[in-house]
Chain A
Amino acid sequence: MSINNKEALLNKQAEVQKVIDSYTCRVLVCSGTGCIASGSQKIYDEMVKLCKDIEGVKIEMQKDVPHVGVIKTGCQGLCELGPLMRIEPYDYQYVHVQIEDCKEIVEKTVLRGEPVERLFYKHNDEICQHPDDIPFLKLQTRIVLENCGKIDAESIDEYIAVGGYQALAKAFFEMTPQDVIDEVTKSGLRGRGGAGFPAGRKWSQVARQKVKERYVVCNGDEGDPGAFMDGSVMEGDPYKMIEGMTLAAYAVGAENGYIYVRAEYPMSVKRLRMAMEQAEAYGLLGDNILGSGVNFHLHINRGAGAFVCGEGSALTASIEGNRGMPRVKPPRTVEKGLWEKPTVLNNVETYANVPKIILQGADWFRTIGTEGSPGTKTFSLTGSIENTGLIEVPMGTTLRHIIYDIGGGLKSGAAFKGVQIGGPSGGCLVEEHLDQILDFDSVKKFDAIMGSGGLVVMDENTCMVEVARFFMSFTQRESCGKCVPCREGTKRMLEILERIVAGKGEMSDLDELQELATMVRSMALCGLGKSAPLPVISTLKRFRDEYEEHIRDKKCRSKVCTALRKFHINPEFCKGCGKCAKNCPAGAITGKVKSPYTINNDLCIKCGACKDNCNFDAVYVEL
């Protein structure tokens, strides 16, 4: 059935809404990657099974029978507390739902509307019945994620019910392509992939090109370790992003589009495919969309495990079937992108912002966020934090608000040390930045980048030198090898960092590290290379004392660097059993049976076998 004009879309919306309203009760099972990992698929199956067995109740739509709907939604946000479940119309939010709970949920909540108290989240001993009672969710502003977790992620009908595709209808029938570009420009929307280039300017540059064949490409190659926002959008509300891409295609006059999704996101690929098929069947994608004469065909390409493909020119090279290596710019992607044609390339979150801007207007959008960076930003909040999960807050929110008010502070009350923003290409922010507002421009001043929005919180037990080494080993491995500064520079920096964490560093290493970092930062070919030294630059600046301790005192204050640990045996606890000496691969432990043993730290290889094997907890690590 095709929806071929605006009226048909509104009729469809009314029809679907009526169906949804006729449900007596709807069970929303979170099916984001996190909750699926916690076993939510089994919960979904069980709920479907139980609800089917209720007498006089149907889960499929039929007239005049009480209905219970069991649906799969995208990420509901609180990944750590999964599997998650919401129940409408009561708006109950259940956490940590187990198979054994399902029967009680059906009997109490589904049939009688009563809550199952023990499944509610408790915040400081207060029971949170509804999603908005939970500070983690209440304190967010959801635009991109507004439907994520609330609608069936596999049903275009539900997207239409909440106003989906009305932005498209408005654009097609009330606005010219130029109007669409103007509105996006006026909104101040900046690319959410990291660099923050104004989306409207990019679109108008493509629209201006003489070549008529153009492409719209979506960067869903969210490769930053510790970031899963775009994946959650693709999984939880794929329709919104597709509508955004269709709007972009209309604005710049493109008839073909590509979504490049990272290989590690099979669920995103599945949901996007499903969404595209449904949209095509409804005539909302393909030829003659909404009967307007506009054509837009969408294709999916899966990544194959190369971080550098998140860079624009590498991404288009990969779609063309080549090695994903960046090229020298100019010409830029807007002039010569995919197949040498003008190309709009934005990321998932950027496109997902567009429908709402078209529908509610640029002025509305500018009321959110900061002057220079309007709108919201999604972040994935992970690491040593009480509530890990997916969040969306206005641009300009402080880190303190994100970490302490929304995230609930550090895990087990540990002391805050730093937060890595922007993944391996980003920087490390510390205590003094907690109260600074966070937007594209401010973050740059702190030697970091917004990146796509991964926030990894680190506590006192994290060694910053080791973290710098970790990021460098990542970028070094992912360096494509095309330009010398990145290929050689990252390798040399990694060698130095490896030396330092192994306790073999010298003070001159720090200057060399700084010099290399500055060189790569200014001379690498692409954004990946240019930003690769940022973790080193920011940790050198803010944790220089830790670097020096590693080199001078051979000491790792976080006790992370195994090579710098010193093992000792506490003579008071040691029973002289000799088990440690037997297990020591280096022959570093000596002693007489039944009297305390000792470790020779010159021979010790710091493997920890003695500590693991001691039955009396007599082996300890010196700070």
Chain B
Amino acid sequence: MLDQSYYKKADEVIEHYGRRAASLIPIMQDIQAEYRYLPGELLTYVASQIGVTEAKAYSVATFYENFSFEPKGKYIIKVCDGTACHVRKSMPVKEAMLKELGLSHKKHTTDDMLFTIETVSCLGACGLAPTCTVNDEVHPKMTPEKAIELLDGLRGESA
């Protein structure tokens, strides 16, 4: 069961965008921004409030890559694998992070809920490839070594 505060938050967001079917995506985006994931119960609740079926809401939520029903870590690291980053060797950067954190291509989030590692198709900072973002802050010209330093820094920050 979700805490009552989640539903209160959802009400606020729904109020802001209005009870219309077209509000579904912005509402889900704001909820996800708040909790770093989209709790399934809240999606059901939002659907009932804005007058779309649960099935419809689920079909939309699963279509878009940005929505996640799995809780994510405190630091969401997106390694860019756009064309520019790819030809400037972005994948070794991701591999280094996965290895350092004991993650794999199936397991994206560390057990302590500190890190989530994802791949993203292009962050628009191609001039500084390869790049990655930590909670939307862009880090330029990455190398596997810099990636480990970055993780160490974030660990220190949250300790």
Contact = CB atoms under 8 A, between A and B. Distances in A.
B23 A321 contact: yes
Contact of B127 (A34, A223, A319): A34
A382 interface: yes
B24 A321 contact: yes
Interface stretch (B5-13, B79-87, B104-112, B146-154): B79-87
A302 interface: yes
A323 B140 CA distance: 33
A34 B26 contact: no
Interface string A304-327: 111100000000001111111100
A60 to B, nearest CB: 29
B140 A228 contact: no
A497 B52 CA distance: 42
B44 interface: no
A264 B65 contact: no
Interface stretch (A189-197, A454-462, A579-587): A454-462
Contacts of A404: none
Interface stretch (A102-110, A211-219, A364-372, A384-392): A384-392
A226 B125 CA distance: 8
A226 B136 contact: no
Contact of B138 (A36, A223, A388, A480): A36
Nearest to A388: B127
Interface residues of A, number: 55
B53 interface: no
B69 to A, nearest CB: 14
Interface string B14-29: 0000001111111011
A34 B83 contact: no
B139 interface: yes
Interface string A460-472: 0010000100110
A394 interface: no
Contact of A382 (B29, B84, B138): B84
Interface residues of B, number: 40
B34 to A, nearest CB: 15
Given A225-B122, A382-B84, A302 B127 contact: no
A37 B138 contact: yes
A33 B129 CA distance: 12
A420 B83 contact: yes
A301 B121 contact: no
A382 B127 contact: yes
A323 B59 contact: yes
Given A320-B22, A420-B83, A423-B83, A305 B64 contact: yes
Most buried by B among A264, A320, A454, A462: A264
Contact of A37 (B67, B84, B128): B128
A321 B60 contact: yes
A38 B81 CA distance: 19
Contacts of B60: 321-323
B131 interface: yes
A257 interface: no
A227 B52 CA distance: 36
A471 B86 CA distance: 10
Given A225-B83, A304-B29, A34 B65 contact: no
A302 B126 CA distance: 21
12 contacts: A225-B121, A225-B122, A226-B82, A226-B122, A228-B126, A265-B124, A304-B64, A304-B65, A323-B63, A324-B64, A380-B126, A470-B83
Interface of A: 33-34, 36-38, 79-80, 82, 222-228, 231-232, 263-266, 301-302, 304-307, 318-325, 380, 382-384, 388-390, 420, 423-424, 454, 456, 458, 462, 467, 470-471, 474, 478, 480
Interface of B: 20-26, 28-29, 52, 59-60, 63-67, 81-88, 120-129, 131, 136, 138-140
Given A301-B25, A320-B22, A321-B20, 5 more contacts: A34-B140, A82-B127, A225-B83, A302-B29, A480-B63
The 9 closest A-B pairs by CB, nearest first: A79-B127, A225-B82, A304-B64, A305-B65, A226-B83, A37-B138, A382-B84, A305-B66, A228-B124
